[in-house]
Amino acid sequence: MPPAAARLAGLGTTIFTEMTALAVRTGAINLGQGFPDTDGPSAVIEAAVNALRGGENQYAPLPGVPALREAIFAHQRDWYGLEPEDVLVTFGATEAIASAVMGLCDPGDEVIVFEPSYDSYTACVAFAGATPRFVTMRPPDFALDPDAMRAAIEGGRGRVKAVLVNTPHNPTGRVFTRTELETIADACIEHDLICITDEVYEHLVFDGEHIPPATLPGMAERSLTISSVGKSFSVTGWKIGWCSGPAALVAATRTVKQFLTFAGGTPLQHAAAAALRLPREEVDTLRDDLRAKRDQLCDGLAAAGLRPLVPAGTYFINADVGTDATQWCATLPERCGIVAIPTSVFYDDKDAAPTLVRFAFCKRPEVIAEAAGRLAGLSA
Ligand SMILES: Cc1ncc(COP(=O)(O)O)c(C=O)c1O
């Protein structure tokens, strides 16, 4: 591998690609990568079909098709009372995160990353020539340690430019509390930091409530709020995301995005607008269905003698397998036909959670039942 690619590969993890390929090759149940095995709401799928057949097949405008931009403004207002100055449609939340970090951070800047973290963050920070400063959240509760966060910011001696916040949080399944977010907000205001938020699981909260950091006092003017249609509406393959916030932050993100992909997914942008305009009851039903799956897999893991840490949101449960999780996951497909991910891949500090395994529960009940049975067989 050329050195440049090797350097980047070393920053993140290739385990999802490897594990998904392994699951396909061996016929194992894939509880590794977070994607549902059912389609999103039929009205949303129909909207995509109609857009394809209706001639919406050419480049979208760089900021996104007007129907989706309007739906995002309405969504932020109706769900959270937010009135962002501007909105930008992106190729999934992933492109919004990459473009934001590259557009807002200079070489030599530092970015606070709460770990464990979604694996693209570190690579995106590297794209910008910036450096991550990790704040470690530890099991079993993964609570934010305010002292560690302050120490990380102060340790940057003025170089920290931004904080990357993910709530609801992958891989822990945590939903940041108001108190935690206020602690982050106070630090952002005190040190004049930009808050880049990844809220892709915003509608998948089972216990508690999702609080966008931009809704806290003094934060709307310094927050770039990122989300996407994939997770909340079970269409992860569409990669339609967006960011919203102050005009200057969105403009910086747009400047990078135009040279990455310019614009994409025109028919799916129209369908994403339909998703965001679904009645709240339908959004609640999607969440409630997923909560039942969470409970089913938690019960199955507990019955198999693994100790699940019950998540408040997202697609993921972490369970303590009581032994080296990397080894445990490496042999799991052959031992019982299941693929899962050691949680340590999401940490820079590889000793922070050595016995935890992340399982995705966004699967049909019969698949979860089969997986639970196979896991139970391990301890039999
Ligand atoms: C925290 C988090 N952010 C972003 C993404 C990717 O979002 P998208 O598919 O919209 O790029 C994921 C996908 O796993 C995720 O877990």
Mutate to test the pocket of ligand 1, among 117, 121, 210, 231 (most ligand atoms within 8 A of CB): 231
Whether the full predicted model's pTM is greater than 0.85, yes or no, is yes
Q: Is the pLDDT of residue 36 over 70?
A: yes
Residue range 290-298: mean pLDDT, rounded: 98
pLDDT at 157: 93
pLDDT digits (tens, 9 = 90+) for 209-264: 999 999 999 999 999 999 999 999 999 999 999 999 999 999 999 999 999 999 99
pLDDT at 244: 98
Q: Concatenated DSSP letters for 34-71? A: ---SS---HHHHHHHHHHHHTT--SPPPTT--HHHHHH
**8 Å CB contact between 315 and 201:** yes
* Rounded CA separation 193/213 (Å): 13
Q: Is the pLDDT of residue 19 over 90?
A: no
Q: Is the pLDDT of residue 197 over 90?
A: yes
Q: Is the pLDDT of residue 25 over 90?
A: no
Q: Token digits for 302?
A: 């507990």
Residues 6+ positions from 355 with CB-CB distance below 8 Å: 320, 321, 322, 323, 324, 325
* Rounded CA separation 367/373 (Å): 10
Residue range 142-156: mean pLDDT, rounded: 97
What confidence tier does 13 reach under pLDDT thresholds 50, 70, 90? low
Residue range 58-83: mean pLDDT, rounded: 98
- Summary mean pLDDT of the chain: 96
Residue range 161-167: mean pLDDT, rounded: 98
Does any ligand 1 atom lie closer than 6 A to the CB of residue 64? no
Q: Which atom of ligand 1 lies nearest, measured to the CA of 228?
A: 10
| Distance spanning both ends of the chain, measured CA to CA | 43
Q: Is the pLDDT of residue 12 over 70?
A: no
* Rounded CA separation 13/151 (Å): 27
Residues 6+ positions from 285 with CB-CB distance below 8 Å: none
Does any ligand 1 atom lie closer than 6 A to the CB of residue 171? no
pLDDT at 317: 98
Output the CA 239–ligand 1 centroid distance in Å. 9
**8 Å CB contact between 354 and 327:** no
CA nearest ligand 1 atom 2, residue: 118
Residue range 151-158: mean pLDDT, rounded: 96
* Rounded CA separation 165/202 (Å): 13
| Cis peptide, bond prior to residue 140, ω within 30 of zero | yes
Does any ligand 1 atom lie closer than 6 A to the CB of residue 93? yes
**8 Å CB contact between 63 and 88:** yes
Q: Is the pLDDT of residue 16 over 90?
A: no
What confidence tier does 89 reach under pLDDT thresholds 50, 70, 90? very high
